[in-house]
Amino acid sequence: MIQITPQMRVLVAVEPADFRCGIDGLARVCRQALGSDPFSGTVFVFRNRRRTGLKVLVYDGQGFWLCYKRLSTGRFRWWPAPGEKTGASLQAYELAVLFHGGDPGSTRAAPEWRRVTAGG
């Protein structure tokens, strides 16, 4: 079973992916377009052109997981704007919001944990 933890890196591809691609095709997109190693354990998220489906690719140390979610009605409203970047990072809780068709940018979660250093 795939489990997405807060420590995992989540990378969202800005450009739509060809959903006819399987694991090998999406792994190629990870290498070439996103400049990331698909074997790194990063969670890669892709959407189709119509914004009705998401594909998630992740390597768990033994093999790849490829998950697909297609909305029965409506479209995914939020997606990173195309620009200079080819991918955008999300936190694990933001990915959960995206899975439910929400806008990860409008969530009101606690700020990210950061190490407290001894003041001097």
Amino acid at 17: A
Amino acid at 84: E
Tell me the pTM: 0.85
- The pLDDT of residue 86: 78
What are the extents of the domains in the chain? Answer: 10-106
Q: Select from 66, 102, 90 the least CA-distant residue to 10.
A: 90
The answer to whether 103 and 97 are in contact (CB under 8 A) is: yes
Write out pLDDT tens, residues 38-58.
Answer: 999 999 999 999 999 999 999
* Segments in the chain below pLDDT 50: none
